Amino acid sequence: MTLSERRLALVPVAFYLVLVVVLVAGVLATTHGHFVYALDDPYIHLAMAENLAHGHYGINAGEFSSPSSSIVWPFLLVPFAETPVHVFVPLALNLLFGCVAALLLGRVVSGWRMAWWQRAITGAALVLAADLPSLTIIGMEHTLQVMLAIACASGLLEVLDGGELPGWSLAAAVVAPIVRYEDVALTLAVCVGLVGMKRWKASFAVGGLAMAPLIAFSVFLKQLGLPALPLSVLVKGDVSEVSDLGVRIRIAFETCVLQAVKDPERYPVLVLFLVLTYMTIRSRARAQRFVLGGSAMLAALQLLIGRFGWLYRYEVYAVIFLTLICMHMLARCEGFRFWHVSLVVGAATFSMIGTARTVGASSGIYRQQYQMHRFVTGFYRGDYAVNDLGLVSFERRPGSYVLDIYGLASLQAAQQDDKTTAWLDRFVKRRGVALVMMYPEWFDDVPDSWTELGRMCEADPPVSIGEGCVSFYSSTTDGTPVLREEVRAFAKTLPAGVTLTQK
């Protein structure tokens, strides 16, 4: 790269950092100076890291669970566990990975035949298409996932130009699946590209090295008495280890096929799949045909079995990977300016919507989950049950137990298909939990023996849940008077925009 190209590569980095600063400032302005992530899930990883620091895998001491969809992310948070800066470690890591991702985007764009200012604008637009600013504030492993997706795509672009696949791109393909399971699609795309180059041994090596940690982790989970896949994957994917597993997979597959043509959020991946399929059919060069075909396969896998939504964090790794491959091919065509603008704008549309919603999402977490966290750490002193695990499990009182009735941190709840009112009552009382904080809409009904203490509501519900109110219940008669007083004291401390109506 020339000096001017290196400077150009820094434009996306600068643009990314400016947007992150704006988003952080917006979050602090709407949360009374408390930095809160845009989803509740990052706090699950932080809570796990607290226990991993003591050699335990799970949320509650002495009870194994697997509520994280990422193998490696909770371990990256361990070094600073139980320190004042622990809560900011996901933000710091995401800033690091986000800068590397933006730099890789700048490196790719700097080689395209356009005017300097056009390449600069394109690099900035790709930062939005990759959703890097929003993913940074979300606080999960998706920024690292996107960085690895860009690294894999960048290597394949060199193959499309007749070069070799760089070692760092192969390393990204090997590491990607331990960041998120769906990254196996990235590994497959790279392996298919290697086959196109007739590098059979390298293809098998990359695939084998990528799958080995997944198999080892499954063995580890089975030894702990857990399913081979994390509970978060099974529960959120609506798949459990029961007799009708095949039926569940078939229904999920059919649902995804239907949604691929009905859900606008899936249109970018669908369009990219169609474009790449057409390019694959028209291609004559073997290596190029395999790279394009492997990329089309990645798009198909995301459409058929991948998830979408939740601030567009699930599909963004595929969107940026596919966009880079398509744009690189279109750069060779006449009329590239029109197609390149259309592709970038289309790919970035939903990510820009997600970025615009990030501050509001953080504010929603602050007004609901953060307040629940305040209650169980500053007012209530016993064990409690929830159906939204996250902040309520992070930095909690020593010795306190959190019962997850949704199933991310409870194998019994995860395997319970029909969460009836009777089951809910037995499950909570068997553990001796006095306080239940939950969204009653998630269940058929609330047990008659429970006493509702109050309902905490806000006008704008968190993006991740969509429920504006959380109800507080006492599951025991003896503890109800004390709990009422604790809820009453807590209600006086709530911020503006949050109301707690006592029963």
State the Cα–Cα distance between residues 497 and 308, nearest whole angstrom.
30
**CB atoms closer than 10 angstroms to residue 427:** 18
Angle 394-425-51 from CA coordinates, rounded to 5°: 20
| Beta carbons within 8 Å of 101's beta carbon, 6+ residues apart | 130, 132, 143, 146, 147, 150
Measured CA distances, 243 to 198, 240, 267, 448 (Å): 42, 9, 34, 32
Give the other-Cβ count within 10 Å of 466's Cβ. 10
pLDDT tens string, the chain, 503 residues long: the values are 565 667 788 899 999 999 999 999 999 999 999 999 999 999 999 999 999 999 999 999 889 999 999 999 999 999 999 899 999 999 999 999 999 999 999 999 887 777 788 888 888 989 999 999 999 999 999 999 999 999 999 999 999 988 999 999 999 999 999 999 999 999 999 999 999 999 999 999 999 999 999 999 999 999 999 999 998 888 876 554 444 556 555 655 666 666 666 778 888 898 899 999 999 999 989 999 999 999 999 999 998 888 887 788 999 999 999 999 998 888 766 555 656 666 777 777 777 888 888 999 999 999 999 999 999 999 999 999 998 899 999 999 988 999 999 988 988 888 887 888 999 999 999 988 999 999 988 888 899 999 999 999 987 776 666 678 999 999 988 888 999 999 999 999 999 889 999 87
What length is written for the chain? Answer: 503
Q: Which residues pair with 404 in a beta bridge?
A: 386
Asked if 414 and 232 touch (Cβ cutoff 8 Å), the reply is: no
- Side chain identity at residue 329, one-letter code: M
Computed over its alpha carbons, how large is the radius of gyration of the chain? 24
Q: How far apart are the first and last CA of the chain?
A: 68
Residues forming a β-bridge with 454: 472, 502
Predicted confidence at residue 227, as pLDDT, reads: 93
Extract the tokens encoding 287: 């290596």
Give the separation between CA 376 and CA 43, rounded to whole angstroms. Answer: 15
Segment holding 269, helix H or strand E:
helix 267-282
Rounded Cα distance between 186 and 189, Å, is 5
Comparing CA positions, the residue from 371, 434, 372, 443 lying closest to residue 406 is 443
Closest alpha carbon to 471 in 433, 443, 425, 437? 437
On the CB side of 191, CA atoms within 13 Å amount to: 21
**C-alpha angle 278-280-281 in degrees, rounded to nearest 5:** 65
3-state DSSP of 29-54: HHCCCCCCCCCCCHHHHHHHHHHHCC
Q: How far apart are CA 40 and CA 448, in angstroms?
A: 30
Task: Output the six-digit token pair for 415.
Answer: 């395997």
SS3 call for 436 = strand
- CA 370 – CA 395 distance, rounded (Å): 12
- CB distance 60 to 409 below 8 Å: yes
Tokens representing residue 345 in the block: 């704008």
What would the 3-class secondary structure string for 78-130 be?
HHHCCCCCHHHHHHHHHHHHHHHHHHHHHHHHHCCCCCHHHHHHHHHHHHHHC
**How many angstroms separate the CA atoms of 31 and 462, rounded?**
13
Neighbours of 121 (CB within 10 A): 17
